[in-house]
Structure 1
Amino acid sequence: MARRLHENQLFSKYAYFIGEGTRKHRLSEDESSMAYSDAVLTVIEHICTDRFEGRSELKTYLFQIFNNKCVDHIRKNTTKKAQVHRTDGFDDRYMNLLPDDTRTAVQQLMQQQDAELLGQRLGQLGDKCRQMLMAWGEGYKDADIAEQMSYQSAAVVKTSRLRCMQKLRELYLNGQA
């Protein structure tokens, strides 16, 4: 219990790094938040395994790891592999060529297919991820989800939710059924 308290304090103390990531690296707030969460977890792991030797201040060490995670994220987004997986969806120009009743039917089929695919992908996630994303999708705030699912705080829910969203994105990108 005390460890979790200290982990939360570490996370909160330098959470302003997230803003640095959005400004300096031009990441979205979600991307910067994920990089920060990963950096905090890495630092905690390094402390527990004695990889952190104390040759620098903890803040400096955390910032350097965070900075590296941001750069990793940028590299991941700019590789040709990432470009191949980007899709723009069905082109509206073609949809507008269809008669109204056909267009409506095609749109309904596309929505149904999208909903079924989302259901399959959510089913591949763990129960906690699925429950969290479903609650968030229904409009619940992170604070409500924290209370409902017995998380420490809304910040922990946000970090967990972003990780779950990343897993969901990867399932879509990898085309796993």
Structure 2
Amino acid sequence: MKDTESIFHRLYDQYHQDVFQFLIYLVKNRTVAEDLSHEVYVRVLKSYERFQGRSSEKTWLFAIAKNVAIDYFRKNSVRSSRNFDAFDWETEQLVSPTKSPELILELNDDLRQLLTALEKCTGDQKMVVIMRYIQELSIAETAEILNWTEAKVKTTQHRAIKNLREILTQNEKEASHYESRKMGRQQN
């Protein structure tokens, strides 16, 4: 037990910030991210003895965090809709039920626009973008965490970037149109 405890503390010290940041980008609520982070480490403590070292500890932790996040979104999906249809991770959007004002205020405008656009992507796309560009995981690590091939990660990443470009371009056009209409009213 003493060994498991020291391993747990090492993992927590080494990866807690990364896991917490990953979860907060997904759920956009500090309290929920803290709760989910706690759940990740509860699962780590319960299952470390079964960890076989086929992946790095970091990718193993992120895989657990991904599963905890999926469980959270499934639970919210069922609660909010009272519909017991299966949650389709690949096509459903992962939209946090609440926005964190403190998180949004801390971000610069470009990142805020990107995260808002990311809400319109599929769950797979959102997960890949967060892992690859925010958590800076490699394609191999991302594939391992998601239990995908590297080709699927690359394809999903490509589609996500294309989708984000389209969303951001559309948002820019709408903002420009709004500004020109606003200017026209002020001149009258």
TM score, norm. by length of structure 2:
0.37
The two structures have a TM-score, normalised by structure 1, of 0.39
Structure of higher RCO (CA pairs closer than 8 Å, 6+ residues apart): 2
